[in-house]
Amino acid sequence: MNNTDLQKQISEHFSELPSAMQGVFSDMSWMDQVEDIGKKYNLSEEQIQSLLIDTSMIMLGVVHIDEYKKNLVQELKINEEQAKLIENDVNSILFNKIKPYLPELYNKKAENVAILLL
């Protein structure tokens, strides 16, 4: 997926977020914090970009939060131990603040997809 397509999808999903989530997402400071986590674990620039995308997909409700660690292993090509450390850090700086919204947001997206497939 190219950058333009990704930005378009993010905009579409962003507009569906509850206002509290829009505030967190649009603050953008989370991106610097997640990037710092990537640097802490010596990730390459490409891996950091993937980490940012994976994190944003959770925040937008596109991917369930329970899939985060597995996706980090697959996308970043890191081991489970390192993925767990990264997941813990991202939880502490970001996801713990928005966890109450995430399951409902994901379920709503899944319902919309299911309706489209009928």
**pLDDT, position 1:** 57
**Residue 76 · residue 47 · CB < 8 Å:** yes
The per-residue pLDDT for range 6-59, each reduced to its tens digit, is 677 778 888 888 888 888 888 899 999 999 999 999 999 999 999 999 999 999
Amino acid identity, position 10: I
Q: Report whether 16 contacts 22 (CB < 8 A).
A: no
Residues 25 and 47: their CA atoms lie apart, in Å, by 20
Residue 10 token pair: 């993010």
- Please give the model's pTM, rounded to 2 decimal places: 0.86
Distance (Å, whole) CA 81 – CA 79: 6
Structure letter (DSSP) for residue 31: H
pLDDT attached to residue 16: 82
Instruction: Look at residue 118 in the predicted model and tell me its pLDDT.
Output: 46
Q: What is the pLDDT of residues 80-118, one digit of tens each?
A: 999 999 999 999 999 998 998 898 888 887 776 555 444
Higher-confidence residue of 50 and 2: namely 50
Q: Which two tokens stand for residue 7?
A: 């930005």
Strand blocks (E) in 5-111: none
pLDDT score, position 18 = 83
